[in-house]
């Protein structure tokens, strides 16, 4: 490839960025603030969907026919059968009341963008604007996926896969703004990055009774306490210590009283694993532990085990590709290798179907010092342009390699 040809193929050269950055940043911030003021819960993102679809239509971008909230759109620049790269942003908010001392605040009481999905959608909208105005340089088709219901089960990603959102897509990439990665860094993992997210509800039943006469009842509190301990023994003694596994009992309810032994006890918890085999083993071990505890005490038992999102496992080649794209195009960011986290993300459903990678755009610092899913969480809007550079860089490098 000659130097002139290479230069003309660049979607985001240094010169382009310097000239366009103020406008792009203004657009990204405007999109983010609008979406932040109008958050919608998972499965209810109808106004958000209309806002995104309207702006994509104004840009002349083709909207694909996908039922339900969310938007899938595509810019075509190659014949049918040519390379297609997909970029995804989630769009749902959380049932978290927002601290009203922040500069931009939700106008819907009890609902807020407390995980940064407003920023993700703003980044992808801004990328769509840039790409739509530079189609003469585009060497791959680009599919834009604005996905609903990342925060709940059933997963919005799983639904979109079922509806064909990945049909004809060759690779898929996504990002998340992340307060635990420092501002100015892009965090990349080659391989397992985020954990599977499964939940369990264990209900124990038996004859309650008077606290002074425990011999006439089944002490479900003792049984439940033993089971909580046994679940931790799974992590300590059954699981390979080199393969992460988290089993957390987050709720224990046994409605008795000072001198009343309850007739029902409920344990609820979550299970996290980075490895699919570990995930399967954990379900079997928890079932065995629950059955054993019930058999030893004589209690009745009902176990509901809900498998949620699989682990996010980046394709190593795709992760290395993102690293190279970030190093070339993210002018004010440093690319760094980070450790996997035990939080979950339904981007995993896409990665089960297509090679790709998920990365963190760091924003840890004074503005974004509070944890995700909390009332004081906020996005440092300075990092929105890092996300724009990264995603446009991915498109550009993808066209170089596959176009």
Which of 121, 136, 118, 17 lies closest to 75, judged by CA?
136
74 and 128 Cβ atoms separated by less than 8 Å: no
CA 323/CA 335 separation, integer angstroms: 7
Show the tokens assigned to 163.
């509806």
Looking at residue 387, its pLDDT comes to: 97
CA distances from 120 to 132, 271, 282, 366 (A): 18, 27, 33, 20
Active-site positions? 92, 150
3-state secondary structure of 358: strand
> Domain 3-193+311-402 belongs to what architecture?
3-Layer(aba) Sandwich (3.40)
In this structure, are strands 84-90 and 141-147 parallel, antiparallel, or unpaired?
A: parallel
Question: How far, in whole angstroms, is CA 174 from its chain's centroid?
Answer: 9
Domain spans in the chain, listed from the N-terminal domain onward: 3-193+311-402, 196-309
Which residue intervals of 114-254 are DSSP H helices? 117-132, 156-163, 220-233
Looking at residue 332, its pLDDT comes to: 82
Looking at residue 44, its pLDDT comes to: 98
Looking at residue 2, its pLDDT comes to: 35
| pLDDT (tens place) for every residue of the chain, 403 residues total | 333 344 445 566 667 777 888 999 999 999 999 999 999 999 999 999 999 999 999 999 999 999 889 999 999 987 767 899 999 999 999 999 999 899 999 999 999 999 999 999 999 999 999 999 988 888 899 999 999 999 999 999 999 999 999 999 999 999 999 999 999 999 999 999 999 999 999 999 999 999 999 999 999 999 999 999 999 999 999 999 999 999 999 999 999 999 999 999 999 999 999 999 999 999 999 999 999 999 999 999 999 999 999 999 999 999 999 999 999 999 889 999 999 999 999 999 999 999 999 999 999 988 888 999 999 999 999 999 999 999 999 999 999 898 7
Looking at residue 18, its pLDDT comes to: 76
CA 197/CA 270 separation, integer angstroms: 7
- From the candidate CATH numbers 3.30.70.360, 3.40.1350.10, 3.30.565.10, 3.40.50.620, the one assigned to the domain spanning 196-309: 3.30.70.360
Looking at residue 231, its pLDDT comes to: 98
Query: What Rg, from alpha-carbon coordinates, does the chain have?
Result: 24
């Amino acid at each position: 490839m000659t130097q002139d040809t290479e230069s003309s193929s660049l979607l985001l050269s240094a010169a382009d960025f310097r000239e366009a950055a103020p406008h792009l940043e203004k657009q990204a911030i405007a999109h983010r603030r609008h979406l932040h003021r109008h958050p919608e819960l998972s499965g209810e993102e109808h106004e958000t969907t209309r806002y995104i679809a309207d702006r994509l239509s104004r840009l002349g971008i083709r909207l694909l026919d996908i039922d339900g909230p969310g938007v899938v759109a595509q810019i075509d620049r190659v014949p049918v059968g040519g390379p297609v790269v997909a970029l995804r942003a989630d769009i749902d908010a959380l049932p978290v009341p927002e601290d009203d001392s922040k500069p931009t605040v939700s106008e819907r009481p009890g609902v807020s963008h407390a995980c940064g999905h407003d920023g993700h959608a703003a980044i992808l909208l801004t990328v769509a604007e840039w790409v739509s105005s530079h189609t003469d340089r585009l060497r791959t088709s680009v599919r834009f996926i604005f996905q609903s219901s990342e925060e709940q089960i059933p997963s919005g990603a799983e639904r979109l896969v079922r509806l064909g959102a990945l049909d004809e897509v060759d690779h898929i990439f996504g990002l998340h703004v992340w307060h635990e990665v420092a501002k100015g860094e892009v965090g990349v993992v080659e391989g397992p990055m985020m954990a599977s997210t499964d939940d369990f509800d264990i209900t124990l039943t038996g004859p309650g009774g008077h606290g002074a006469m425990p011999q006439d009842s089944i002490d479900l509190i003792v049984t439940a306490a033993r089971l909580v301990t046994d679940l931790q023994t799974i992590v300590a003694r059954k699981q390979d210590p080199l393969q992460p596994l988290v089993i957390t009992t987050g709720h224990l309810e046994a409605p008795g009283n000072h001198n009343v032994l309850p007739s029902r006890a409920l344990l609820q918890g979550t299970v996290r694993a980075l490895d699919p085999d570990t995930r399967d083993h954990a379900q079997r071990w928890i079932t065995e532990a629950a059955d054993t505890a019930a058999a030893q005490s004589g209690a009745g038992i009902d176990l509901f085990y809900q498998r949620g999102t699989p682990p996010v496992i980046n394709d190593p080649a795709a992760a290395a590709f993102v690293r190279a794209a970030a190093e070339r195009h993210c002018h004010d960011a440093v690319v760094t290798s980070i450790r996997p986290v035990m939080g979950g993300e339904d981007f995993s459903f896409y990665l089960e179907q297509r090679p790709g990678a998920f990365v963190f755009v760091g924003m840890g610092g004074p503005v974004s010092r509070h944890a995700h899913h909390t009332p004081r969480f906020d996005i440092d809007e300075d990092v929105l342009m890092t996300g724009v550079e990264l995603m446009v860089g991915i498109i550009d490098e993808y066209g170089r390699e596959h176009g």
